[in-house]
Amino acid sequence: MAYSAAYTVTVNAPQTRVFDYIADVSRHGEWGSADDKMKATAEKPGPPAVGARYKAEGLLNGKPNSSVVTITDYEPSKRIAFDAEDSNSVFHHEFLFTPDGGGTRVERRVTMPKGPWYFPMVLAIFKSTVVKNYDGAMANVKARLEAGT
């Protein structure tokens, strides 16, 4: 059983601005779930690019969790994807950006290409919490960018 989910939001901001904000992995803690308390730091200075890696520290179920985030795809203003790998699993995140009226539609697709056999069941059991966190993160992106971040 595989895990896959998608989350969408429309942000009333230019596509390039929305893309640049999300593509800056070091800023993900600003808009991610508050419960995660995530901070990401680039291993090497420089702009986002395929192969760029970030050390991420946060909480998972209230416990410290370290991971490495690696950008796997980068198409300015259109698409960014990255893998977040911790000691148990890999979650692949893909963000797609398209014009929507005067704003930008952001679609986030999340899959789990590697993890313990039981993770999909755990994610299904806690689906409402998972959805709340991802929808909340998308709402945070919208709120921050529309407020001028």
Q: Note down pLDDT in tens along the chain; length 149 residues.
A: 478 899 999 999 999 999 999 999 999 999 987 777 889 999 999 999 999 999 999 887 778 889 999 999 999 999 999 999 999 899 999 999 999 999 999 999 999 999 888 888 888 888 888 888 888 899 999 999 999 87
**Within 10 A of 22 (CB to CB), how many other CB atoms are there?**
22
For residue 85, give both structure tokens. Answer: 């790998």
Edge to edge, what strands does the sheet with 79-85 contain? 4-11, 103-114, 90-100, 79-85, 63-75, 53-60, 39-42
Task: Name the one residue in this structure whose structure tokens are 């895990």.
Answer: 3
Q: CA 100 → CA 3, 7, 8, 23, distances in Å?
A: 28, 16, 12, 19
pLDDT digits (tens, 9 = 90+) for 93-107: 999 999 999 999 999
pTM attached to this predicted model: 0.92
Q: What is the model's pLDDT at position 128?
A: 83
DSSP assignment of 39-78: EEEESS-S---TT-EEEEEEEETTEEEEEEEEEEEEETTT
Domains of the chain with bracketed CATH: 4-146 (3.30.530.20)
How far is Cα 12 from Cα 30, in angstroms, rounded to an integer?
Answer: 18
